Every structure is written in C-alpha cells, then in structure tokens.
Amino acid sequence: MTNSVYYEPLTIVIEEEDNGKIVRKVLERRLGVSRKLLSRLKQTDHGIMINGERVYTNDRVASGDLLELRMEQEESNDILPQPMELDIVYEDRDLLIVNKPPGIVVHPTQGHYTGTLANGVVYHWKQLGERVRFRPIHRLDEETSGLVAIAKTPYIHQQLSDQLQAGEVDKRYRTYVYGSPAEAAGTVNEPIDRDTGNPHLRVVTPDGYDSITHYEVESVYGNAAATKLNIKLETGRTHQIRVHMKHLGCPLLGDKLYGYAGEGKDAEAPEVSASLEALLQRQALHAAILSFTHPITKERMTFEAALPEDLRQLEAELRKL
C-alpha cells in the first residue's frame, strides 16, 4: 500500500479516433507527454489509470474510456524555506510567475544556499499548505530583474520547457546601453561560448553556440550617449544580451563583467559614465514581458513587469542629458 499523495490528475476521454490505440500513443498525441515523463509514470503506483484501474503504456484504450495521469506530489526538501517578500504576478495550481528583484539568485548554488528566490517561493508554498517542488522554466542572472516562470508539476515543467525549446515562449527585455546601435532595429546573430582565457565570461566566437538577439531602439539620450532598447531573445545563452550588446559596441550600463568597467573592457568609458554608473549597483537589464501558452487551458498568456525603481531613476537621469 502506498502513502503517496498525488496532484490533481490530468484526464482525457478516449475519442472514437483513438479506439484500440496503445496508451503511450494517445498520451503523446493528446497531451504531448514526453517519453521521460511516461517512463516515470510507469513506475508510479497510480501513475496511469483507465476507468480507475492501473494500466501501462502498451495497454490499449477503448472509445469512451477515462484515461488519467497522476503525478506524485514532491517537495524541495533540499531548499530551506525562508520568509521573503515576493512580487507574485500570477499563480494557479500549475504555475507561478514572479517578478524577481535585482540582487537575488534564482536557485541555491554553492555560496548561495539562502536568500535565493527558491527559498522564498518554497516558504510561500509551505504557508499555503502546498507540496510543490521548485522547478524554474528559465533563469535570470542575479543582477537582472524581471519575470521568472516556475512550474508546479513535472508535466507543466516538461510542457513549458518544450515551448521554450521550440521558440514558442516570447521573452522580451528592457535595457539601457552606452552609445546607440547604427540601425534603429536589427538582429545580432553571432555564436557565443565561454571565453577560453576566463571561463566565467562569454564571448562571441565562430565556434560557439547559435545565439540570436533581436533589438529595437526605443529612446536615444544625450546625442547618442546612451540608448534604451527593447530586446527579444530567440535563443537563451548565458549572458546573451550582455555579450551581444558589447559586440555591437553598446555595452549595458552598470555591467560589471561586460561594461566599460568590467573584466571584458576593451575601450575607455565615455565621460557620461561616471554619473550614470553611480546610480546603478547592477547591469541595466529587466525581463519585462513573458508570453506562452498555458499547458492546461491552452490559453495564450502574457505577463508584464514594470521597470523597478533603480531603472526608473536611471531613465529620469538619462532624459536630462
């Protein structure tokens, strides 16, 4: 007898067109369930059920059957729950969208066991009485603010990860850079990989991974001393926006790694830098818009996070130039 507790099941009624098909094919077609998740469900006592009876992926279905997927509830027992003020943009039984402030790491790592977004989210779920494992769909750099999507079940994580891989998740950023690109809108299609001389830096290199960043100028300040850009990512490499903007000759304001004051500097900072950098404790980058299709409701959802206070202050100063 199992003591497992399950999330609310995913259910489908077998249609005539699926009569006689094996369970695996139906689940792949109707719900887009991955082979990895199916393998996991096979090993779960009540993972796959037809009309209340346990079945396996090679069993066959009949028209009118009620097919259920049941996933065991999990918790992030390795993450210490920690009270934290969270800016929750959206939450339902399947997913959580949080507006992350700058200076917060998304997930505990060596040297960051507490004070991360994960610590605060796990505490939030504990307070709600929910047993949920922390599963971010994507991550933001510690000093980047903005929207982070977190799945609450393995199925939601798999579905949104598939959308991300297929380019169906629309991620848009606001950033402020030195100078101004030569074109008002364009695409940087340059491969990125680790810097062989400094592994924690990334560089544009012919042998790197495909990396595509679309940009559009929103505002230009002080005779092109600085520019506000809207960014859309087509790929999601580490530090991609920061590396591509540096490659354009327009590093992000406040960027300690790729800006004029950073380890990757290759030019003297313009005179305007001292006054602007003093306003920032981090790179001027904000994940402003996140759009995807909800795996359960199939509704296209779009979330937006306003600029945080430090970037609003920066923009006010830029307008004075």
Query: Which residues are within 8 A (CB) of 313 and not within 5 positions of it... i.e. 6 or more apart?
Result: 279
Q: Which of 17, 37, 304 is nearest to 146 (CA)?
A: 304
The domain segmentation of the chain, as residue ranges, is: 10-69, 74-166, 172-287
Inter-residue contact 164 to 306 (CB < 8 Å): no
* CATH number for region 74-166: 3.30.2350.10
Residue type, 58: N
Reply yes or no on domain 10-69 having CATH 3.10.290.10: yes
Give whole-number Cα distances, 175 to 58, 107, 217, in Å.
51, 23, 10
Q: Which of 42, 59, 41 is nearest to 50 (CA)?
A: 59
pLDDT of residue 41: 86
Helix, strand, or coil (residue 318): helix
Judge whether 74-166 and 172-287 match in fold.
yes
Q: Which of 278, 284, 271, 280 is nearest to 321 (CA)?
A: 271
Residue type, 127: Q
- Give the containing element (helix H, strand E) for 31: helix 23-31
Give whole-number Cα distances, 303 to 169, 172, 291, in Å.
12, 10, 6
Strands 285-293 and 145-151: parallel
pLDDT of residue 3: 66
- Measured distance between the N- and C-terminal CA atoms of the chain, rounded to whole angstroms: 71
Does 141 qualify as catalytic in the annotation?
A: yes
Inter-residue contact 184 to 220 (CB < 8 Å): no
Distance CA 285, CA 251 (A): 11
Q: Which of 141, 195, 207, 266 is catalytic?
A: 141
Q: Give 176's Cβ-side CA count (13 Å radius).
A: 26
pLDDT of residue 199: 85
pLDDT, tens digit only, all 321 positions of the chain: 456 788 888 999 999 999 999 999 999 999 999 888 888 888 888 899 999 999 988 999 999 999 999 988 889 989 999 999 999 999 999 999 999 999 999 999 887 789 999 999 999 999 999 999 999 999 999 999 999 999 999 999 999 999 999 999 999 999 999 999 999 999 999 999 999 989 889 999 999 999 999 999 999 998 899 999 999 999 989 999 999 999 999 999 999 999 875 544 445 556 566 667 677 889 999 999 999 999 999 999 999 999 999 999 999 999 988
| pTM across the whole model | 0.89
**Two structure tokens written together for 234:** 């087509």
Reply yes or no on domain 172-287 having CATH 3.30.2350.10: yes
Inter-residue contact 228 to 318 (CB < 8 Å): yes
pLDDT of residue 166: 92
**Two structure tokens written together for 53:** 């009876």
